[in-house]
């Protein structure tokens, strides 16, 4: 069944009227329950732990869950930051746009969101959506974070995308859009008169892919994932290699001086079983093991930096993010309490 279409001018007028006369829910009805607040706190804690360990995608998902349970500018900001640190700039900018809309009075958040959008919008496409009734969105089979709303701004990678718009009562509309880097599309959408779902028969600025909608629907949603290891892994290897060099040097000096060649000659007189000789042999073995481990870590670090790290030419972007979000610090951590250990430490 084909959906009834209105002329653009009429669509805009209808949606504008809906936006002007939409009632605002009372604070009491929108307030999260005690159970939701508890779940939000748990998700927020998981997000902080994941962020500190460098799991930025997991952190973003946890912060978004916290924001869904109990909306807050803190959860939304950290979700935005986590997506940016994971280099998912399309999703980071979409969250930034949501923050600009929801929290206009928070100057610091507005500044950070605006800076993030300004730094990366040139490489993405922008889709501005206005619905006649509050709607939820799915982009390429992924739920767009945020509550039902009349207006949303999405940032997407250049190319073709499928957009699913959901209204209450089972009303659904599926659209396809092709967009280029730096391009903008504005969609004024009116809910279908009947609660039926249609195939993606409406494509904007493009023809539909050869792949049918039925085949597309069977494909699982693309899993979040990085395009390579984070540069933090490489720099951690560099730090660990440097620590290994220092440790190997100290152990080498100890192997030479404890007990020392003269002490061995004087006390052992060719006896391989004397304590001084055995101590020197043990110290030499420890130094050799440390040297081998340091060389191995160094080689692995070189391989990681050359082939496994997603540098992506983003040194300026990394510096910008560090400047924008200086309250969050991440650094390698080397510990010896229960044997040598490698990790990441961080703080908000």
Say if residue 337 is in the same domain as residue 240. yes
Name which residue leads in pLDDT, 206 or 218.
Answer: 218
Distance (Å, rounded) from C-alpha 112 to C-alpha 243?
36
Dihedral, CA atoms, 55, 60, 65, 66, nearest 10 degrees? 90
pLDDT of residue 76: 97
My answer on whether 210 and 145 are in the same domain is: yes
Task: Output the six-digit token pair for 122.
Answer: 């040139």
pLDDT of residue 347: 45
Q: Is residue 16 part of a domain?
A: no
Which pLDDT band holds residue 220 (cuts at 50, 70, 90)? low
Q: Domain containing 212 — which CATH number?
A: 2.60.40.1120
Q: What is the pLDDT of residue 55?
A: 96
Mean pLDDT taken over the chain: 78
Question: Does residue 146 sit within a domain?
Answer: yes
**Which domain range does residue 159 map to?**
124-218
**Average confidence (pLDDT) over 192-204:** 62
Q: Phi/psi of residue 154, each to 5°?
A: -115, 145
Q: Are residues 297 and 214 in the same domain?
A: no
- Is 333 within a domain? yes
Whether 76 is covered by a domain: the verdict is no
According to the model, what pLDDT value does residue 267 have? 74
Backbone phi, then psi, for 107, in 5-degree steps? -60, -45
Domain boundary among 195, 218, 241: 218
Matching residue, tokens 């940032």: 155
Q: Has residue 291 got a pLDDT over 80?
A: yes
What is the number of structural domains in the chain? 2
Q: What is the DSSP code string of 90-147?
A: HHHHHHHHHHHHH-TT-HHHHHHHHHHHHHHGGGSEEEEEEEEEEEEEEETTEEPSS-
The pLDDT of 153-158, averaged and rounded, is: 97
Count of H helices and E strands in the chain?
12, 9
Q: Name the more confident of 192 and 122.
A: 122
Instruction: Provide the pLDDT confidence category of residue 244 given band limits of 50, 70 and 90.
Output: confident
The confidence score (pLDDT) of residue 3 equals: 38
pLDDT at 301: 83
């Amino acid at each position: 069944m084909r959906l009834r279409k209105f002329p653009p001018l009429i669509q805009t007028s209808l949606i504008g009227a809906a936006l002007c006369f939409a009632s605002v829910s009372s604070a009491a009805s929108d307030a999260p329950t005690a159970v939701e607040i508890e779940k939000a706190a748990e998700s927020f804690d998981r997000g902080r732990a994941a962020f500190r360990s460098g799991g930025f995608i997991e952190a973003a998902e946890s912060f978004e869950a916290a924001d869904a349970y109990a909306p807050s500018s803190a959860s939304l900001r950290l979700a935005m930051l986590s997506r940016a640190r994971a280099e998912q700039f399309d999703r980071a900018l979409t969250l930034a746009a949501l923050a600009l809309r929801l929290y206009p009075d928070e100057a610091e958040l507005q500044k950070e969101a605006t800076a993030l959008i300004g730094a990366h919008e040139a490489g993405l496409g922008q889709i501005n959506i206005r619905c006649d009734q509050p709607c939820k969105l799915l982009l390429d089979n992924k739920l767009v974070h945020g509550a039902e709303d009349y207006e949303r701004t999405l940032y997407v990678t250049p190319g073709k995308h499928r957009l699913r718009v959901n209204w209450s009562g089972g009303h659904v509309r599926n659209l396809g859009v092709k967009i280029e880097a730096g391009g903008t599309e504005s969609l004024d959408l009116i809910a279908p008169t009947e609660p039926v779902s249609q195939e993606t028969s409406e494509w904007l600025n493009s023809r539909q892919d050869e792949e049918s909608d039925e085949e597309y629907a069977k494909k699982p949603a693309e899993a979040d994932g990085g395009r390579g290891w984070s540069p933090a892994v490489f720099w951690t290897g560099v730090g660990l290699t440097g620590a290994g060099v220092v440790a190997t040097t100290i152990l080498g000096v100890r192997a030479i001086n404890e007990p020392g060649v003269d002490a061995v000659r004087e006390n052992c007189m060719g006896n391989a079983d004397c304590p001084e000789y055995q101590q020197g042999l043990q110290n030499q073995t420890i130094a050799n093991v440390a040297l081998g481990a340091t060389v191995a870590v160094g080689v692995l670090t070189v391989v990681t930096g050359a082939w496994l790290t997603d540098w992506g030419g983003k040194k300026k972007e990394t510096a910008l993010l560090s400047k924008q979000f200086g309250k969050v610090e991440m650094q390698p951590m080397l510990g010896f309490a229960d044997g040598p250990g490698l990790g990441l430490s961080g703080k908000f």
